[in-house]
Structure 1
Amino acid sequence: MSENVLNFQKKREETIEKKRRSFERLLFQNFLGAYTVIDAHETVYPVELIDISQDGCLFQIPWNFNKDKKFNDDFEIKMRMYFTKHSYIPVIVNIRYGKEFVDSDGQTYMHYGCEFDKSLPSFDAMRNFINFMYSFAEHSAIDKGDVKTYFL
């Protein structure tokens, strides 16, 4: 009989997580730009953020097995999280893992899971942004157009 009992808390958490990931994709594709300094010449490269949490982030870069070199675990990367065209929050991440990923369009990427260096003062701004994303996912509602809105 207990197999048929629904765990509403677990279902609620799953729904919130689904909304958070959807909101993240929208933000990462349309609002938040991420760039990283990868080489010794301080060249800035774009990366695509996939996921973000209080502990770290997951990003991807196009990958060619024959010519690209994989980052080692614990490799430190300086990242710039752009919120406007000219302003960003600097963060430092350490690579925890890297794995090849083939997207549905056939393009191959390298996914890197990273851990944030939380000792940087600038991480406080990222922490607040990440908290906002989690809170937004929990408390936001979908506008289904069922109520008229009037603006003065």
Structure 2
Amino acid sequence: MKDSTDTTEVINLDLFRSRKQEEKQRKTERIFFHNLVGVYAVIQPGKMVPVDLIDISQEGLAIQVPYQSDRVWPTDSNEVPIRLYFSADSFIEIAVDVKNTRATIDGGVRYLRYGCAVNTEHRAFDAWSKFVGFMHSFSEVSEKDSGNISVGSL
């Protein structure tokens, strides 16, 4: 006869898999953003600054910049152009509205992190949307190269 006071917790494997997939997606995105895409915010005519792209979705993104008390990153404009460079001279530019700001520490360095909404009416939104879709699909099927295959010539 089973004890009715058994309080063993049932683990939801779907929830566990979903969390692991989300962790993998975020890690893959950060590696991709850090190594393959240059991301810049246009802060005034003729001037842009590099920003770290932290998270993306169809509707928004999170960026961060190193905290500098003497030079606060401008957030007073209604729309901030964000450029994603895929080569030295080709980029797509989207427009975002800064919705929230918070201080954070990442790797022992203090940053200001900005949560932004992407302007869905901007001419590059369709390209942005497809880029986000690609990133999500890529993170689901990408594999880590174990180095077990060498490169040779034919």
CA offsets, 1:26-83, max 9 Å, x none? 11111011111112x33111111111111111111122234426625x8310111111
C-alpha separation in 2, matches of 1:89 and 1:67: 27
Q: TM-score, normalised by structure 1?
A: 0.83
CA distance in 2, matches of 1:45, 1:70: 11
Between the two proteins, the alignment pairs up a number of residues equal to 149
Compare 26-35 and 135-144 and name the one that shifted more.
135-144
Q: Tell me the equivalent position of 1:29.
A: 34
Question: Does the C-alpha gap of structure 1 residues 108 and 148 become closer, same or farther in structure 2, counting only changes over 3 Å?
Answer: closer
Q: How does 1:20-59 map to 2 (within 5 A)?
A: 20-39=25-44, 41-59=45-63
Asked if the contact 1:70/1:98 (under 8 Å) is kept, the reply is no
Structure 2 CA distance for partners of 1:86 and 1:102, relative to 1, 3 Å? same
Percent identical among aligned pairs is 34
Q: 1:54 to 1:2 in 2, by over 3 A?
A: farther
Question: Which residue in the other structure is 1:18 paired with?
Answer: 23
Kindly tell me: are residues 69 and 133 of structure 1, through their superposed partners in 2, closer, same or farther at Cα, counting changes over 3 Å?
closer
State how far apart, in whole Å, the 1-side matches of 2:71 and 2:146 are. Answer: 48
Q: CA deviation at 1:134?
A: 0.9
Tell me the residue number matched to 1:85: 88
1:68 corresponds to 2:76:
no
Aligned partners of 1:34 and 1:48 also within 8 Å: yes
Query: Which is higher, the Rg of structure 1 or of structure 2?
Result: 2
Shift of 1:104: 2.9
C-alpha change, 1:11 and 1:146, in structure 2 (3 Å) is farther
Q: Aligned equivalents of 2:148 and 2:46: distance in 1? A: 51
Quote the offset at 1:24 in angstroms: 0.9
Which TM-score applies when normalising by structure 2? 0.82
Q: Cα gap change, 1:4/1:143 in structure 2, threshold over 3 Å: closer, same or farther?
A: farther
The structure-2 alpha-carbon separation of the partners of 1:9 and 1:89, relative to structure 1 and needing over 3 Å to count, comes to same
- Does the 8 A contact of 1:71 with 1:98 survive in 2? no
